[in-house]
Chains A and B, each alone.
Chain A
């Protein structure tokens, strides 16, 4: 069966520090991968999606970047965090049209 892992579950980071969130998928190959963010009191927003290794599309301009170094690994990064980067980050994968969500990472930037 397919499984999606995200870590860490929670993270508190100071402004200006770097960020690396990792997502891995098991039990499938060549999935589409997604990073979503949910800011406090707001809906989910698509940040990045990837249809293959090294292929990243950005949906909104921002302080974050994404990479897909392996077929089932998706990484969300920042060189310098901003207060506005706080939120709940969800990784998801899909074999169209079904989407599966990871457990999420709650990031607080202080």
Chain B
């Protein structure tokens, strides 16, 4: 079993839909990262969380430390949100990555 599990693996949505991507982990962490990887491969860090909730534009990330679970929400999704979203946990200063969720948003 992977130490970081993401669901779903693939997700398609119509423009405007509310999207949720889930991440569960089984190791102790000091922080959890949500990353966005575009088709060219470049990775952008969206959020780093150690507790509670963060919001940036249409993106919201939450974490429940007791349940070892985090969610990434996208409100009013747009085709430009199409990318792979990766959850990564910070375990003794090394990141352990989930396998990613491939999101496609259609107009």
A interface residues (Cβ-Cβ under 8 A, vs B): 32, 34, 36, 38, 42-46, 49, 59, 88, 90, 94, 96-101, 103-104, 106
Q: Say whether B7 faces chain A, with CB atoms less than 8 Å apart.
A: no
Smallest distance from the beta carbon of B75 to chain A beta carbons, Å?
25
Q: Is the CB of A44 within 8 A of B45?
A: no
Q: Is the CB of A98 within 8 A of B86?
A: no
0 or 1 for each of B9-44: is its CB under 8 Å from A? (1 = yes)? 000000000000000000000110101000001111
For B42, list chain A residues within 8 Å (CB). 101, 103-104
Q: Is the CB of A49 within 8 A of B94?
A: yes
Whether A99 touches B99, Cβ cut-off 8 Å, given contacts A43-B86, A104-B41, is no
B interface residues (Cβ-Cβ under 8 A, vs A): 30-31, 33, 35, 41-45, 48, 50, 86, 88, 90, 93-100
For A94, list chain B residues within 8 Å (CB). 93
For B94, list chain A residues within 8 Å (CB). 34, 46, 49, 59
**A-B interface, 4 closest residue pairs, ranked by CB to CB distance from nearest:** A43-B99, A97-B31, A44-B97, A101-B43
A-B contacts besides A45-B97, A46-B96, A101-B42, 4 pairs, CB < 8 Å? A90-B43, A96-B93, A99-B33, A104-B43
CA distance A34 to B88 in the complex (A): 14
Q: Is the CB of B30 within 8 A of A97?
A: yes
* 11 residue pairs bridging A and B, Cβ less than 8 Å apart: A43-B98, A43-B100, A45-B97, A46-B96, A49-B94, A59-B94, A90-B41, A90-B43, A96-B30, A100-B45, A101-B35
Which residue of chain B has its CB nearest to the CB of A105?
A: B41
* Most chain B beta-carbon neighbours within 10 Å: one of A32, A36, A98, A99: A99
